A and B are shown apart, each in its own frame.
Chain A
Amino acid sequence: MCGTCGCGHTLIKPARAKTTGGALNFRPVSGTPEAGAAVPQTPTSEAETRRIKVERDLLAENDGWAGENRARFGAAKTLALNLVSSPGSGKTTILVRTLQELRGKVPLAVIEGDQQTENDAERIRATGVPAVQINTGKGCHLDAVMVRHGAEELPDLACGVLFIENVGNLVCPASFDLGEDAKVLVLSVTEGEDKPLKYPDMFRAARLMLLNKCDLLPHLAFDAELACANARRVNPDIEIIRLSATSGEGMDDWLAWIARQQAA
């Protein structure tokens, strides 16, 4: 069992290097009760059935850890951004370019979430920015405890920016607060304009949408106006920046947005 929070996750710590290698692996909790839990027993026929009022929120445990993360980030004046999208939208490419722009100006670090491989963390580390990889195994999202563990592996980020790249998935990560300041949703123009209508929960949860790969627009039938209208239909307050991590279009707006969040 994890010594920090008592979670049932199997946690494999990086061998020694804090940020240079070794993924944190999380596996689904096994169905076996923990030591001390009531063990299934053959019920006796005279066993009395009782009704126990519980009234506990299923996300309360996650939300508790998210609150702790938020308090820690707040105390250190660390801006924490949770990047969410479907797989292949270009989150990592945006991150690499963003880190190259911000490096040397503010403290930076990245928590990478994927089911398998350390490929993304290696791409991040190539920029010189510390990164920790969390492998969720069969898990489809990061949760607040994973982020807590990941953040413990990273250097102090006073007045800096922590980017959390969630597992590529437009459904599940919407429900799990990580303690971030904002969710940043990446939609690429190689996807459908109706993604916001198909996956409204995520678009509703996001503060900013980055419409990525805009350099490809001349070659596609994608209607960017319609995509933005659909996003606003689901979330009237969502901010939108059109971007290309390849050409650099919109990067200034994105960096200015980050600076505004830091100042807020």
Chain B
Amino acid sequence: MKKNTKVMVAAVVVLIAALAIWFAVGQPPDEGPVAEDPVEDPVAEDPVAEDPAEEEPVQRTYTMFMGMSGRDPIQLSETRIGRLITEKTGVTLDIEYVVGGDVATRIGTMIASGDYPDIIWGHEHKNRFVEAGALVPIQDMIADKPNIQKAYGDILDMHKFPDGNIYFLAPYREEPDLTHIGIGFWLTKELVRDLGFPEITDIDEYFDIIRDYVARNPEFNGAPTIGFTFPAESWRFFELTNPPNFLMGYPNDGDVQVSRGDSPEDFTARTYATSDSTREYLQRLNQLWNEGLLDREVFVQTHDQWIEKVSSGRVVGMTAQRWQFGFAPMQALEDQGLSWRRFFPFQLLDEGVERGQYVGASVPVVRDGMAISVLAEDPEGIVQFFEDFLSEEVQKLYYWGVEGEDYNVDADGLFYRTQEQRDMRADPEYGRTQGVDWWGFPRTILPFSDGNKIPGLTSSEIRAGYDEVELEMLEGYGVETFAQLAPEAIPSPYGFGWDIVLPEGSPAQLAHARIGDLRRFHFPRMVMAANQAEFDAEWTAFLAAFEESGYADYEAHMTTVIRERVRNWGLLD
């Protein structure tokens, strides 16, 4: 009996423990945030905050979901300027990030469960939220807000969704990047200097230069030189499929080329994956492969391995967008004293093409922004937050920082930065502990009332950002900023094609996925073909399979959306 009692007690204890654990673990998460960082300040306790506005801003907290992968999980309350913004607007944001995971899946589950936070940043999945009816239209709420109207007034039409509603204010404004050219066929700066700062537009000339260089310098720092490479891992595969488009002189519209005209009906989208330009480009790559000049692991390596190669200084030429390698690898090269092994872009063109559109016109990219969900209890308050955020004072805080710490004011009242302050900003730690300017808040690009402009458009800041290597390059080419080396971008009445989102489960989306798979399968085999016969066989197979992919649905959808944009945005003149 005693033994039985003991066992009984043990069993009951286990039962209770199991149930307790189950309840604790099975709690539904708080709306939105699964804060990776334990340091959280959910409610701002600042009753004695300075209030620039007439009344004390109401202290409130909103939850937010950041649907873009690869973001540093930083909360507003963790950075110096973030806290100042909280002081001025009264708002604290509890942001949930997707760290290292698959954003699409997370969003899928969020939509299926209907468990939305107050604010949603959907990135390229914005449409899924709209279709699921998760977002609140804001056009009425912003109609009477002066700051918002001033900053966004003339581009509000561009924000309209097919249902006529506006759901967010896009943070990507039409400010051109005057500092650097963001894309092209890159060549190591050392080589460009040694060649006397040439202007190259012919792709064969470009590859010949590489051939010549590798023949003379088969090794760099003890490791084999890599003549040409590009990122190709999973979603970065467009670095292989986009160049033919640019070579033909078209801008980056994703996987289509758009013919233009005087009326919306003249705009038509066509895929270019089966064009001669694509085949010839692959042919050239195949030639490089067989000569041993193409990175042998280009299709099997992970992106980290690619970055490692670029950071080692062994790479002579590549094609990529600047943001693929623009930060850590370039810093690594500088740290190794290999600043001259960094890269300089050329906008190459096919024969007969007059003008490249590598650098697209700067239009606001209305693909995503901070949107208000239907479960938000205080949509008016959130809109008021946007309004307060767009006030001059907060915008100055956002762009420039705190006077005396992040920037100084000269005798004429103009803002400027000392080299120290610039160095401080260039440090990646700055964003994490001090700053705020990459979070995607609504912002203005208009000059401030005292004549100062945002840093990106202030010429002293732009030139100050260049180091000696770059200044030498600029001198060699006889220009003030790198942007002057690219032809002026042609304005686009429909923005960019690459940010057009395909509706879920639609034939267009399916066709696009199939086209993507076909290219991922056939193109590498063509590049790696051992002889011409293999190459041709692979190309023929690709063409045949492409016919079956339903690409017409994709083209039709893109055409429709582009025509709609042209009609609605009213930028055609």
Query: Do they bind each other?
Result: no
